[in-house]
Amino acid sequence: MQSSFPIVPESASTFSGDVDALYFYISGITIFFTTLIGLVIIFFAIRYRRRNAYEIPRPIEGSTKLETLWSVIPFLIALSFFVWGTKVYFEQYRPPKNALEIYVVGKQWMWKFQHPTGQREINELHIPVGRKIKLIMTTEDVIHDLFVPAFRTKVDVVPGKYTMEWFEATKPGRYHFFCAEYCGMNHSGMGGWVEVMEPKDFDNWLSGNLSQVSPATAGRGMFESLGCVSCHGANAEGGRGPALLGVYGSNVVLSGGQTVTADEAYIRESIINPQAKIVNGFGPIMPSFQGQVSEEQLLQLVAYVKSLSTAKPETRTAKPPGLGPAQSANPVGSPK
């Protein structure tokens, strides 16, 4: 329950409680030491006030014992903040498996979201309660930051990169989200609502937006229209360019002998700046698609390549990525 004058935002994600606990612990220590030092200063100031103009107190040199004491104790306390803070952060950071992946593109001054089943939203994000949500985010212009106070999390959205933010909402409701990295004129208007819904309400919401094309399907369309098929093959089975089937998540051996894990960032880079990493056994012949595709289209291409790792090789059109069995039975995401 929120009081009428809350001093802590609503707590609505699996780690907001952990962050609050640490916040209250550091607050307690802060209040304790501030009060302690304040009281000692006031006590000394009164107890040792100057009583006559000529008094010269006896000098005191200092004490190595005391110095050690008041170096070691604060250090140990700081260490406890460090260990606790890092532990909670690592749990927050580690991307969960089988999360619902939602693509996010920030631009001056709006947030665009696209669900794996194709639904698009602007400045609103509908998510189901109790399900891990992973946002894969980038921006078309400057740096932004997606900040959901009720979830106690924020991550910058950086041009030329994919950043990842995840959370699991614990109670249905409407929660503010903000852009937390200054981005120009209408920065303070670049926010909206996260609408956390019961799973069945969420399913209803999804099916109410049937006409959408999933990002992976849209990506498949671009794969053809941009002519990627001529080298990577009509079914991405490979040709002059490497095969893309099953590439996502695998280890790719490069021409220099190094190995990289093919994640979203790698796929993005291979489209925008193909010469950066050449797959072993192939020539550096691919042109850059920089400027020809928007960040949203890039995300769709990435979604398509990702779908090739979950789809059966013979299916021409791909299933949307990141859907659990319950959702994949749902006809919403399947094209045609």
Partner 1 sequence: MQEIATPKPPRVNYLNAEYGLKSWLLTKDHKRIALLYLGAISFFFFIGSLYAMAIRLELLTPQGDLMQSSTYNKTFTQHGIIMVFFFLIPSIPATLGNFLIPMMIGAKDLAFPRINLLSWYIYMLGGIITIYALLAGGVDTGWTFYVPYSTTFSNSYVIATGVGIFINGFSSILTGLNFIVTVHTMRAPGMTWFRLPLFVWSHYATALIMILGTPVIAITILLVAFERIAHIGIFDPAIGGDPVLFQHLFWFYSHPAVYIMVLPAMGVVSELIANFSRKNVFGYKFVAFSSLAIAVFGFLVWGHHMFVASQSVYAGMIFSFLSFAVAIPSAIKVFNWTATLYKGSISYDTPMLYGLGFIGLFTIGGLTGMFLASIATDVHLSDTYFIVAHFHYIMVGGALLAYLGGLHYWWPKISGRMYPEGWGRFSALVVFVGFNLTFSPQFVLGYMGMPRRYHTYPADLVSWQVLHVLSTAGASILGVGLMIPLIYLLWSMRYGRIADANPWGLPGLEWQTSSPPPTENFLTTPVVTTDAYEFASPEHKSVVGRFERQTPVEI
Binding to partner 1 (CB under 8 A): which residues in 199-228?
Answer: none
DSSP 279: B
Specify the stretch interacting with partner 1 by CB under 8 A; choose among 38-46, 113-121, 247-255, 312-320.
Answer: 38-46
The amino acid occupying position 111 is W
- If one asks whether residue 28 binds partner 1 (CB under 8 A), the answer comes out as no
Beta pairing partners, 86: none
Site mask for partner 1 (CB under 8 A), range 68-87, x = bound = --xx--xx--xx-xx-xxxx
In the complex with partner 1, the residue whose CB is nearer, 183 or 196, is 183
Q: Rule CB under 8 A: choose which of 11, 14, 26, 243 binds partner 1.
A: 26
To partner 1, the closest distance from the beta carbon of 227 in angstroms equals 22
CB atoms within 10 A of CB 286: 20
Specify the stretch interacting with partner 1 by CB under 8 A; choose among 62-70, 215-223, 279-287, 300-308.
Answer: 62-70
Specify the stretch interacting with partner 1 by CB under 8 A; choose among 41-49, 123-131, 278-286, 293-301.
Answer: 41-49
Q: Rule CB under 8 A: choose which of 17, 34, 292, 324 binds partner 1.
A: 34
Q: How many residues bind partner 1 (CB under 8 A)?
A: 90
Specify the stretch interacting with partner 1 by CB under 8 A; choose among 58-66, 203-211, 229-237, 310-318.
Answer: 58-66
Binding to partner 1 (CB under 8 A): which residues in 261-300?
Answer: 273, 290-291
Binding to partner 1 (CB under 8 A): which residues in 130-189?
Answer: 141-143, 145, 147, 149-150, 152-156, 158-161, 163, 176, 178-189
- If one asks whether residue 324 binds partner 1 (CB under 8 A), the answer comes out as no
- If one asks whether residue 127 binds partner 1 (CB under 8 A), the answer comes out as no
Q: Rule CB under 8 A: choose which of 55, 97, 200, 208 binds partner 1.
A: 55
Place of tokens 């790698």: 266
To partner 1, the closest distance from the beta carbon of 319 in angstroms equals 30
Residue partners of 125: CB distance under 8 A and separation at least 6: 102, 111, 113, 177, 192, 193, 194, 195
**Residue 193, SS3 per DSSP:** strand
In the complex with partner 1, the residue whose CB is nearer, 29 or 254, is 29
DSSP secondary structure, 86-154, as one string: HHHHHHHHSPPTTPEEEEEEEETTEEEEE-TTS-EEESEEEEETTSEEEEEEEESSS-EEEEEGGGTEE
Residue partners of 171: CB distance under 8 A and separation at least 6: 12, 129, 196
The span from the first CA to the last CA of the chain, in angstroms, equals: 46
**Residue 167, SS3 per DSSP:** strand
Q: How far is CA 52 from the centre of its chain?
A: 65
In the complex with partner 1, the residue whose CB is nearer, 10 or 203, is 10
Q: What angle do CA 101, 106, 111 make, to 5 degrees?
A: 80
